[in-house]
């Protein structure tokens, strides 16, 4: 007779990026809150996009810039990607689109292909980044990413929910934590249905 052995699931690794470069932006604050409020069993690491150069095919031919390599490796080694986007003139910011364009390239291993992706966004306006999120989904469909279809996070007229870039509203904090719990469960189910050879592993540096 043998005893049943209970194994603790490994943490789910999520890379988070925000499509704003401003230090105290609401969206950077929302991403920071997501890392703080993530349920146990989630390892959410934030990657800054400030040093990602504009995509240029000539630059790509000469050699992939180091910041792009680091971003691509982080996405490749993660179980999922969490994208937090502002809305600029009805769409996603150029800095975010540029980072996704780089990460879609075969020269960096196309780490977005098949990658589970969650989407959040916050705006001081009433449209709550809805148009930007729809545009972002079109980009992620083009990169053949796996978009989380659960009820997302689109916060409008939210300036009073933050103080100095920090999310302080209790109801909103609870909502964000709940979203991350659903996102993590969906990721875990996705991993369980992947063939072993397809599951994320630590990869060698991209050269």
Domain boundaries, the chain: 18-193
Would you state the structure tokens that stand for residue 180, as one six-digit string? Answer: 């991350």
Count of positions (residues) in the chain: 207
Task: List the helix and strand counts (H, then E) for the chain.
Answer: 6, 8
Model pLDDT, residue 161:
96
The band of 10, judged by pLDDT with boundaries at 50, 70 and 90, is confident
Q: Is the pLDDT of residue 5 over 80?
A: no
Q: Is the pTM of this model over 0.85?
A: yes
Confidence of residue 195 (pLDDT cuts 50, 70, 90): low
Cα-trace Rg, the chain: 17
What token pair was written down for 4?
A: 């049943």
User: Residue 205 — pLDDT band, cuts 50, 70, 90?
Assistant: very low
Strands 80-84, 12-18: pairing kind: parallel
Question: Distance from CA of residue 2 to its chain's centroid?
Answer: 42
Q: What is the dihedral of CA 171, 172, 173, 176, to 10 degrees?
A: 130
Q: CA torsion angle for 38, 14, 30, 99 (degrees, to 10)?
A: 180
Q: How many CA atoms lie within 13 A of 42 on its CB side?
A: 28
Instruction: Look at the domain 18-193 and name its fold.
Output: Rossmann fold (3.40.50)
Tokens 């083009």, located at residue? 142
Query: Taking residues 34-60, what's their average pLDDT?
Result: 97
**CA distance linking residue 71 with residue 58, whole number of Å:** 19
């Amino acid at each position: 007779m043998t005893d049943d052995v209970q194994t603790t699931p490994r943490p789910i690794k999520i890379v988070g990026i925000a499509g704003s470069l401003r230090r105290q932006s609401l969206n950077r604050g929302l991403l920071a809150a997501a890392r703080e409020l993530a349920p146990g069993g989630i390892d959410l690491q934030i990657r800054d996009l400030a040093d990602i150069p504009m995509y240029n095919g000539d630059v790509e031919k000469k050699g992939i810039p180091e910041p792009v390599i680091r971003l691509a490796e982080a996405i490749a080694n993660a179980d999922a990607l969490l994208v937090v986007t502002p809305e600029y003139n009805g769409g996603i910011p150029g800095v975010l689109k540029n980072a996704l364009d780089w990460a879609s390239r075969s020269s960096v291993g196309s780490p977005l292909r098949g990658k589970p992706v969650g989407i959040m966004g916050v705006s001081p306006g009433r449209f709550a980044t809805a148009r930007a999120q729809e545009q972002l989904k079109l980009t992620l469909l083009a990169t053949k990413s796996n978009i989380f279809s659960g009820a997302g996070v689109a916060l409008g007229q939210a300036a009073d929910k933050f103080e100095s870039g920090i999310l302080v509203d209790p109801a909103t904090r609870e909502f964000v934590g709940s979203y991350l719990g659903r996102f993590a469960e969906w990721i875990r189910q996705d991993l369980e249905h992947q063939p072993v050879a397809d599951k994320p592993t630590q990869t060698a540096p991209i050269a």
